[in-house]
Structure 1
Amino acid sequence: MSIGFIVDLEFAWGFQSRVVGLSKTSPSFYYPPPTVILGGIAESIARKHEIGENDGKKLIPELSKNLLAIGIRPLNCIPITYQALNRIIAIREAGGVRYPTPEPKYILKSFDAPARGHTILSTVDGDTPQMKLFIVFKDDEIEFGERKLKLSEDDFWRIHRLGSKESLVSVSDVTRIDGRILNEIRNAITDTIYSFPTGRGFNIKIIGKPKGLWVEEEYIDPFRIERYDERENPVVNYILGRKLIKFKIPLISVEDFVEKPVCRLEIQSNVVAYGYKGEVIIGYG
């Protein structure tokens, strides 16, 4: 039976989740990508069940196989992306010298200062930046080797970061939604205030002009993560430009932050909208 979770997230300042493969001065996304969210859930499950870091990454493909829908929306914040210079150790080989090296004449060449993308979540009400996550799975458990791990509210309460190690979050509320009370909408017109996927198998048509501000970002397809190893993982796929999918994401407008972004959609074929108490996200059936 399907199961859903609605999670309220509070960010310490924002997050760092960079677009890889563009250059060493890569920008950051507006919101944590779906694969980053799956990674945060996987890390929480791994700690709960005492699974090591390397094996814990294998939970991400299992969550992906079980994923039906995922969406996120801002509650009181506007993303501001910027790039900051950071001094880092540069691991490389040049002129027959391997860096980093302790040799005094080469010590300065052991460092680099790339501009790394960050996203600050600026609040419109003076409170901590907050976002809401809505996610639906096919089943309430995932397989890990010979073990079957149950998905529960505790796995979301344990999430403590989304993105780099500096991207701290805290969870303020988790609502579990059993499949029997999760409303499935098919071949219909519906409204959503959450981010949603477009293209690549999603038969979705936007009706009229969306209310508020909506932009488009390209992510690794969270529904098609088959493995997590050196040959295939979200980072490698992004660099090679494979298994990508576009998401429409809602932004609170600086000019009119009172108006809530709303998008009216016509969904068909294998696309399903999942609703709970007026909140709707888009995914597979």
Structure 2
Amino acid sequence: EIGESKARELMAKLSENLCAIGFKALNCVPLKYSDINRILAVKITAGTLYPTPEDLGRSFDSPARGKTILSSLDEKAPTIRWFLVFKELKIMLNGKEVEIFEDIFWRIHRIGSKESRVSAVNVEKVDVQAKKGVVQTTYSFPVDFGIKELRWINPKWDFEVYMNPFAQHKDPISSYLSGKNAIPFRVPIVVNPKTLPEYRLEVENYVAYTSGEETVIGCQK
């Protein structure tokens, strides 16, 4: 077992071994909203007790709090598919060899900075082929000079900024909080679950990894 105290080192080792990572929503769309829950300012300022209906502006710590949820488009649980490619199915952690196998991913039950509750519904180990040139993908991909965007085949695509998953971070958590090594990604947004977003690209400095009809963009290691 690997405890939480080893999280920084574990993430760094996984990044060193990571060749590609991408995700796509299969039946859901992200919805962002703001609320004012739990941010009432209980305080005394200039002799006035807050909150007070006479001064609503100063009765709150902030005007709103942003949140994001996944809303299903087909009455089933929101589902996201991840495609990861590792150079080797093992890493060295504290002088010990740790294997990367399917059972590890079945155990994932929280994800993201807010530790949202999730469950794995299918984990498959597949063989991949590396290729360059013109490819089509339905997965998120980095926006970089080594990738030439040709055209959307199916919309909709948006931009999100993430930490560079291929960079070596001595302290991934600090890099995340400070925004260092952040790069933009194209992210597919589902409009119709029967027609997933697809993008045609020309891969130059990056590499496309394919398995069947699935293609994810990554790097050569």
What's the TM-score bracket when you normalise by the shorter of the two chains? 0.7 to 0.9
Change (3 A) 1:283 1:164: closer
Q: Structure 1 residue 208: deviation in Å?
A: 2.9
Quick check: 2:175–2:181 contact (8 Å CA) kept in 1?
Answer: no
Q: Please tell me whether the aligned partners of residues 73 and 250 of structure 1 are also in contact (alpha carbons under 8 angstroms).
A: yes
Mapped pair 1:221 → 2:172: no
Q: Does 1:249 align with 2:187?
A: yes
Q: What TM-score do you get using the length of structure 1 for normalisation?
A: 0.66
Matched, 1:196 2:145: no
* Structure 2 gap segments, 5+ residues each: 52-59
In structure 2, distance between residues paired with 1:207 and 1:113: 42
Query: Cα gap change, 1:61/1:257 in structure 2, threshold over 3 Å: closer, same or farther?
Result: same
Secondary structure of the residue aligned to 2:120 is: strand
| Cα deviation, residue 229, structure 1 | 7.3
Inter-partner Cα distance in structure 2 for 1:175 and 1:272: 21
Instruction: Indicate which of 99, 102, 105 corresponds to 1:156.
Output: 105
Match of residue 81, structure 1, among 21, 32, 36: 32
User: Which amino acid in the other structure matches residue 9 of structure 2?
Assistant: K
Q: Partner of 1:156: helix, strand, or coil?
A: helix
Percent identity, aligned pairs only, is 39
Query: Residue 154 of structure 1 aligns to which amino acid in structure 2?
Result: D
Matched, 1:122 2:71: yes
Superposition pairs of residues 22-61 of structure 1, within 5 angstroms:
49=1, 51-61=2-12
Query: Match of 1:33?
Result: none
* AA in 2 matched with 1:243: N
Q: Shift of the alpha carbon at 1:106? A: 9.8
**SS of match in other structure, 1:175:** coil
Which residue of the partner structure matches residue 131 of structure 2?
185
One-letter identity of the residue aligned with 1:260: L
Q: State the shift of 1:113 in Å.
A: 6.0
- 1:161: how far off? 1.1
Deviation at 1:55, TM superposition (A): 2.1
CA RMSD of aligned residues (A): 2.7
Please give the residue correspondences for 1:101-120 in structure 2 after superposition, counting only pairs within 5 Å.
112=61, 115-120=64-69
Higher Rg: 2
Structure 1: stretches of 5+ with no match in the other structure? 1-48, 96-104
Whole-angstrom CA distance in 2 between matches of 1:134 and 1:229: 21
- State the Cα distance separating 1:89 from its structure 2 match: 11
Q: Is the 8 A contact 2:11 2:172 kept in 1?
A: no
How many Å separate the matches in 2 of 1:225 and 1:114? 38
Distance 2:210 2:193 in 1: 24
Residue aligning to 2:56: none
